[in-house]
Chain A
Amino acid sequence: EAEVAQSPRYKITEKSQAVAFWCDPISGHATLYWYRQILGQGPELLVQFQDESVVDDSQLPKDRFSAERLKGVDSTLKIQPAELGDSAMYLCASSLTLAGVRNNEQFFGPGTRLTVL
């Protein structure tokens, strides 16, 4: 069964360092999402891609976070510099298409757990 792949699974870094997370969506899925899940809360959307284009990055802290999906397949989320409050689970998800098709299921990867010391 096809799955969303993420790496690394765990990352420990010191504040002010740079970190990067990688996501490989299910083959053929045009839409890719990055979520942040703080402990004890539900995931919150950071950025959404349709192919290589950003569709929604309204909740992405752009002063320190960046995301790219250059070839419209895999994606990288970067934080520079990391802050203590960035400690969280970072989840990647993918789905087949964007709006117009009701309720496309999003398939989630296992996540990257980031700890900032």
Chain B
Amino acid sequence: AQSVTQLDSHVSVSEGTPVLLRCNYSSSYSPSLFWYVQHPNKGLQLLLKYTSAATLVKGINGFEAEFKKSETSFHLTKPSAHMSDAAEYFCVVSFTGGGNKLTFGTGTQLKVEL
């Protein structure tokens, strides 16, 4: 079985400060991991994905995530938050033998304040 746990349901940061959204995963197989973002009234958009290549993955809009197998973590970071980053973020796991099935975390709502 595979699952992800997003450790914070809400995160609030000031504009220009770093962002850290935490995610731990559980998978019986070598996982693939993703971060998706969901803005209000818009579809889910892929930020980045880990596919067993480099453990530090760079995504769009300045986001990156590091796969740490020993900690079973895949935390999402950004050096400097922008107001436009305010959205819901989902950590997602899948594995090749699972038919590309995605298992989503419960989401972290990111608030960016002036």
Contacts and interface: CB of A to CB of B under 8 A. Distances in A.
A95 interface: yes
Interface in B79-111: 90, 92, 94, 96-102, 104-107
B51 interface: yes
Interface residues of A, number: 28
Contacts of B92: 42
Given A102-B32, A102-B51, A41 B100 contact: no
Contact of A42 (B96, B97, B104): B104
A107 to B, nearest CB: 8
A110 B105 contact: no
B100 A108 contact: no
Contact of A105 (B49, B99, B101, B107): B49
Interface in A47-62: 48, 55-56
Instruction: Tell me what chain A mostly uses at the interface: helix, strand, loop, or mixed.
Output: loop
Given A91-B44, A108-B43, A98 B105 contact: no
Given A41-B106, A110-B42, A103 B51 contact: yes
Give the bracket for the number of chain B residues in contact with chain A: 20 to 34
Contacts of A77: none
A85 interface: no
B46 interface: yes
Given A40-B106, A42-B105, A42-B107, A103 B43 contact: no
Given A42-B104, A110-B43, 9 more contacts: A41-B106, A91-B44, A98-B99, A98-B100, A99-B99, A102-B32, A103-B94, A105-B46, A111-B43
**Closest CB pairs A-B (n = 10):** A42-B104, A108-B43, A108-B44, A103-B32, A110-B43, A103-B51, A99-B99, A43-B104, A102-B96, A42-B90
